[in-house]
Amino acid sequence: MLIKSSPAIKESSVTDESVYLNRRQFMQGSLAAASLLAVPFSPFANAIEGDALKFVKTSYGKNDVPAPFEVITGYNNFYEFGTDKTDPKKYQGQLKTNPWNIRVTGMAEKTGSFHLEDILNQNPLEERIYRLRCVEAWSMVIPWVGFPLEKLLAQFKPQASAKYVAFETLEDAKQFPGQRSAFSSIPWPYQEGLRMDEAMNELSFMAVGLYGKSLYTQNGAPIRLVVPWKYGFKSIKSIVGIHFTDKQPATTWNRIAPSEYGFYANVNPQVDHPRWSQSSERRLPSGLFDVKRIKTEMFNGYAEQVAHLYQGMDLRRNY
């Protein structure tokens, strides 16, 4: 399936980075003082899109400069809203994200339907700045707010025999115009999956916010997966289902075009997409006369943390 490209965003249309950096310093100072109070709180109680979140700073991505806010929230792949990069922001108001439930099934001791707020109450939030690399050969740096995926999965006590975890996006054609489009060839709902050792890796992250605020709908509200060493389509959005299994789960893009989109989807500059090179990427923001082309790094630059997961594997076959 051909992935539709979109015109580059002009530099003049984005928020200055200093706005974020100044705000971030202020919030960190306030949060440092607040953290001295040993009073339980809900990091997400009654939060709506764009609300400020309570979180702590981490060292992840400390040397990376986040893309401007308007780039991150205005240039998105979220085919449930449409195939154009601007469709998610254009139609995001149709999705209602509060209340939100997550259904947990499969090989775990604790299964059933859970309110998102109850899940989040058990997980203090932190900010991690990660690089996002799209399979379409563009990239950006995003300051996510959330918590480790490992902590979420531990809440449900997966069985030792569970080798994979699968995720599912909401299917609701009334709220997602892309799902009711006559031109869509995607078998909804959108599905993704990880091996359990990938899911339990320190980098795997559940995001509920960005830029210090609760997640915007076009970016996958109210909760999404972030797996920074894999191509962006693995980082499934608006999650409503989690399933533990001992068999490799079917995943959406791999089902549609298995020769183009593998189950593992690790960022690999040595394995090209059949229709374009993966050796370099366009880092956003990037304008028509200022194309920021950089070399793609193996595992998107996170090899130190994840290369051991694939020791002995042929990454050309297991792409």
Q: State the burial class of residue 7 (Cβ atoms within 10 Å of its Cβ: 0-12, 13-18, 19+).
A: exposed
Question: Tens digits of per-residue pLDDT, 157-189?
Answer: 999 999 999 999 999 999 999 999 998 999 999
CATH T-level fold of 11-303: Sulfite Oxidase; Chain A, domain 2 (3.90.420)
Count Cα atoms within 13 angstroms, Cβ side, for 224.
Answer: 26
Instruction: State the pLDDT confidence band at 145, using cuts at 50, 70 and 90.
Output: very high
- Phi, psi (deg, nearest 5) at residue 46: 60, 20
State pLDDT tens for residues 256-292.
Answer: 999 999 999 999 999 999 999 999 999 999 887 888 9
What is the per-residue pLDDT for 46?
53
The full set of domain ranges for the chain reads 11-303
Residue 24 has pLDDT above 60, yes or no: no
**145, 127 in Cβ contact below 8 A?**
yes
Q: Name beta bridge partners: 145.
A: 127, 209
HSE toward the beta carbon, residue 173, CA cutoff 13 A: 8
Residue 99 has pLDDT above 80, yes or no: yes
Average pLDDT over residues 283-307: 94
